[in-house]
Structures are given as C-alpha cells and as structure tokens.
Structure 1
C-alpha cells in the first residue's frame, strides 16, 4: 500500500509539476547561453578594430563622458585585456536596477550600438524564475523544485530492484516491448540524471526560499555575505545581471560624500596604474567601481585570463593614497565550500 501511494503521488505530480519543471528546464538552458548568443548577435558592440595605440584608461573614459555629459552618473568602468574587446561603462538609468551597460570603443570612447536581445533574455529569466507573474510565480516554481527532489527520491524507491547490478540500474533493455519498454526507459534515464536533478534542485532553491539559502550556508560552513552597494555585477561584458549591489544608487552616494569629478578621475588614474603594475597580463577584464566616499579606497574586481566559470571573480581594494593593495581576494585561493556557494 505504501509503495502504491508513492506511485500515485509520483505519477500525479509528474503530470502537473512536471509541466512547470519542463518550462524551467527549457528557459534555463536558453538563458545559460546568453553571453554567447548576445556576442554573436552584437559583434559590432563587443569587438572593435584594433588600433596601433593603447586603450583609453578608466580615468580617460570617465573624463570623456564627464566632459560630454556632466549629468551622467557612472557606476563602474570595465576594461578588457583583449585589444579587440570593447570597454563597458555602467551608468545610472531609470528602471535598470543594476544600471545600464554602455559599450564603448576603447580607443575613441565612441558609444557602440546598443545590445540587441537583452529584453528577450530578461523575459526568459523571468519566465524561468517566476513564470513572469511575480511573487505568486516564484512560489509555484519553488514548490515545483521541491517536488523535483521528491521525484528523484520516490523514483529511486519505486524502482529499487530485488537484484542489484550495473546493468539493471543503468542499461536500457531494447528487448522489452510496448509499455514495458517505455517504463524501463523512463526508469533508466531517470537514474542517469539523478545527480544532476539533485544539484539543480538544491542550488535552484537558493533563490526560492530564504530558509533554504541560510541552511546551505550553514551546511557548507560559509559565512553569508552582507548586501553591498557595489556597482559590479557578476557577469560583466554587457550583462545587466549579477549577484551584487544596486548599481543605480551609487551616483547619489558620491554626491552626498562630496567626491568631485576631478577627485574621482585621480583615483581612477592612480588605481589603474597600481593595478597595471601588479596584475599586468594576469586578467581578462577588470572593473573599477567608482569610489562611494573619499576614504582613499577603490573597489575593483577582475577575471583571470582563463576563468573557471563566468562568476569566478577576484576582488581587491586599492588604496590610491598610499599606492598599495589593502586587500586582495583571489578566487583560486577560496576553499571548495566557498567556491560551491
């Protein structure tokens, strides 16, 4: 009776929550290729003609746009090591929670064509996370993800064989016919993807429930970071999403702190010189978050020449008054549990 009850629940949830999970799977797969697709669609924005001179420094880019439009509030400036890669200036823009990434020619500061396709991927992201219906959809996708864990565990229980062998667990049996073959195919393929489903579900629930996220940090023994008002997002290179900060609020913070454009320009110039000296050839992109207050510190992040993944970023604090790095956090130095989180 217990096994029959499990089967009925497994079957019923499979044809209900399974539909939502299918949508989440397809949209998640599409979304994972966002950088590659956007670069393919917008090659004129991401790549430029290489010129026989150095790229403009962050300070020079800042000065250019300040002279051109003093009302523009710049959050961060990203420069790439690749001579053909464009630079990125993130600015405050109404409706853009993390600011708007403006692609610019790194040699002339010319604003490059706007990235096409961002709205599509924003829609795909919302469809993936909350079915585009806000908090209600978020609860639905979260509940369905919990059900995915139940699918995995109940499926293993339901197919637990009397005789254990690798062939019994993992081999499709083509000699079976009709419904028996379909059932066996479902069971075997389900076993193949058990580990992947559990990883997807356990990590995906981090965005669904605060209690789950807190539990993940505790189980892995990682201190949960506090929200910071940083300009840099997790991806860079034209993406407007990332795990950090509310970009759009940094401009107001600088005005209240009394940072003049001249002071910011000097801070950028000195920080760029210090970074170029210590990390020359050791980065693919570097992002300078414009100083929030006149404390002599510049927050920056950079990506290794060959990054382990798109969020494997190094963070550093440079004191441009004393011309030294006061803090450097390299991704490769993190412990495994920190990398997982």
Structure 2
C-alpha cells in the first residue's frame, strides 16, 4: 500500500472512530476530571465524619456489628473503618445483587451513637460516577459502551499521532504551537486546537486510557501484570482458615484485633475490618498507610479461630512483600486519578482529562467544517 493511501486509510479510521465514540469520550472525560477532586470537595461539607476525641477506648468490633445489624437489618456489612481519634467509625454496606446497595453509616467511636447514614451512589458524585462508568444507562448496557469506547479511544490517540506528524520537518514548528494573528480564520484555530492540544495531551491521554482499560477489562489487567513480570495471582483472594475450633469465641478474638494492630501500625491512617462470611473464611484487615492513596495499603488476613496471620499468594498482601509488577498494578487507580503525584498529580490529571474532553468537540467541528463548507 502506498504511503498516501495508508495515511488516507488511517484518517478514515480516525474519523469514524472519533464520530462513533466522541460523545462517550466527552462524557467520560468530563466526569473523570470532576471525580479527581472528590475527596477534597467532600471535605467542605462532610463534618459529620469528625468527632471530639476523648481519652477512651473505641467500641468493639462486635458492638459495631450489633449496631450495624440493628440499623440496617438483612443488609451485608462489607467493612468497618476505624480511623483517627477525631474520626467517626464508618460502616460500609455493599450488595451488588439483586439491586446495588452501597451506603455508609457513621458512628461515634466512643459511644456507638449513630451520627448519619449516606448513600454512596447518591448526591453529586454518585451522579458523576454513574456517568463515568455507564453513561447513566443500565449497568449491562452502559458499562459495555464505556469500556469499549475507552479502548477505541486508545486507537484514536495512536492514529491521531500518526496523522499529526508533518510530511516535511520544516512544518513541525507549525504543529507544536498556536501561530495565530488577527487574520487567522476560525477553521484554522479549530484545527490547531485539535492537533496541537491533541499532541501535548497524547502522553497523558494514553496513561489515563491505559489505566482505565486495566480496570475495565480482566484480560487487559492480567496481560499487563504478566507483561511486567508478575509471578503471583493478580486477583483478590481470601485465604481460608487453617482449622475450625468450635469452642472458641470468635467475636472476642476479633474484638482484640484492631487494638492490637493499632499498636503495631502506629502511623497507619485507618484500619478497615472485614467480617468473615462464614466459618471457613478468614478475617481481612486493610491497613491504610497514606492519606488519599490505595497502592501502599497492607492487606492482612487472620484465621478467625486463632488470629494466626495467613499469607496469600496474591498481589494483595503486605506492601513490603510486593515486587515491581505488584506495585505498578496496585498503583493503577492512584495513577488514573492522579493521586500518585499528590495535589499536583491531581491537577495534572484534571487538566489532561479536561483537554481530552475538548478533542471530540474540535474533531467534530473539523469534520463538520470540511463536509459543510
């Protein structure tokens, strides 16, 4: 195939992929840049999550479970978060079937008093999340449209870079800057907005798209982990207890677990306790070591009958035991929202996502201007 014909084919692929996925990419990018600062924005109106600290021990895990069952009977407790002395205990309810139930109940950690219950899928950020992952459509339809549109956007970035590359090196300067004057027409300005912005955004767009695909596709996640040299099971696995002892008070054992871990992990941000689903399942405690980050969490598993620590053959274990591939995959979400770089990283992710949202608009206007002169 001749070079000109090849580039013409690439241009057609870029055009039709852009027209077919443009609206989806715009919605995903706009909702994504809003999601980046969720924690920071919520901190302005979530004062119910804080309490006055007193010199007293927290209520026990058994007491928390009792309150959780009383407040929301027949609902599954996904986990309980024990935070800092001035933070309320958060009980997380989560059920995917038959209908999504994802709510949090906040308690005073010293008295057990119920402070407030919130719907994690409600409010502004619940609305934003639904748009980001499924376009506010039913899960079965919307999630498929989003995931495959994101995958096609990856192809769009590559084809866009090929089309961006000028035929002559002397024209390169024109492709990397806005060279406008009073006589520059809007079509030229729009062309520059699409190509110049697209070029400078491409590297970050690839990162956002790639990390999105890792979360969206199981096969993409698995291939990425193995390509990085991973040798463990990349899935989240709960090890079973080593033995079942019928005469042991498992509630009493579980009640001493969080106080014990607090002494061992003195700098931990919080501890999320997951109750065993049955007699065979171990206890999981997620130890959060950094504010706003997930990748460096320690995942600890304990035999519920003896509190003996169990070692899983999974990337979700103690962070110090993670190899390069484990760390990169565990960083995926933090990279996706820019949290890996702190507030500066979030600002970069926000700007990159916002610029990505502009590309379908300028691309559509570019096509419209050529088709309807």
Normalising by structure 1, what TM-score?
0.75
> Equivalent residue for 2:89?
87
CA shift in 2, pair 1:110/1:308, >3 Å: closer
What is the CA–CA distance in structure 2 between the aligned matches of 1:187 and 1:330, rounded to whole Å?
45
What is the CA–CA distance in structure 2 between the aligned matches of 1:184 and 1:99, rounded to whole Å?
44
CA shift in 2, pair 1:155/1:297, >3 Å: closer
Aligned residues of 2:225 and 2:234 also touching (Cα < 8 A): no
Question: Unaligned 5+ residue runs, structure 1?
Answer: 231-252
Aligned pair partner of 2:258 in 244, 247, 272? 272
CA RMSD for the aligned pairs? 3.7
Aligned pair partner of 2:299 in 278, 292, 315? 315
> Equivalent residue for 2:163?
158
> Equivalent residue for 1:201?
209
Mapping for residues 205-224 of structure 1, pairs under 5 Å = 205-222=213-230, 223-224=232-233
What is the CA–CA distance in structure 1 between the aligned matches of 2:288 and 2:6, rounded to whole Å?
53
CA shift in 2, pair 1:9/1:84, >3 Å: same
Partner of 1:113: helix, strand, or coil? Answer: strand
Single out whichever of 170-179 and 61-70 deviates more from structure 2.
61-70
Aligned residues of 2:68 and 2:91 also touching (Cα < 8 A): no
Q: Deviations over 1:243-262 (max 9, x none)?
A: xxxxxxxxxx9xxx8989x9
> Equivalent residue for 1:61?
64
CA shift in 2, pair 1:167/1:214, >3 Å: same
The structural deviation recorded for 1:183 is 1.8
> Equivalent residue for 2:332?
none
Work out whether 1:7 is the aligned partner of 2:11: yes
Aligned residues of 1:58 and 1:78 also touching (Cα < 8 A): no
What is the CA–CA distance in structure 1 between the aligned matches of 2:211 and 2:71, rounded to whole Å?
45
Q: Deviations over 1:89-131 (max 9, x none)?
A: 2357686757643211111111111226632434432322222
Partner of 1:291: helix, strand, or coil? Answer: coil
The structural deviation recorded for 1:301 is 1.2
Aligned residues of 2:275 and 2:284 also touching (Cα < 8 A): yes
> Equivalent residue for 1:21?
25
CA shift in 2, pair 1:142/1:75, >3 Å: closer
Aligned pair partner of 2:287 in 302, 306, 315? 302
Mapping for residues 1-341 of structure 1, pairs under 5 Å = 1-44=5-48, 46-62=49-65, 74-80=77-83, 82-91=84-93, 100-115=103-118, 118-120=121-123, 121-131=125-135, 132-161=137-166, 162-163=168-169, 167=173, 170-175=176-181, 177-178=184-185, 179-222=187-230, 223-228=232-237, 263-279=249-265, 281-294=266-279, 298-304=283-289, 306-307=290-291, 309-318=293-302, 325-327=309-311, 329-341=317-329
Partner of 1:317: helix, strand, or coil? Answer: strand
Partner of 2:118: helix, strand, or coil? Answer: coil
Aligned length in residues: 312
CA shift in 2, pair 1:287/1:116, >3 Å: closer
CA shift in 2, pair 1:312/1:32, >3 Å: farther
The structural deviation recorded for 1:284 is 0.8
Normalising by structure 2, what TM-score?
0.69
CA shift in 2, pair 1:334/1:168, >3 Å: farther
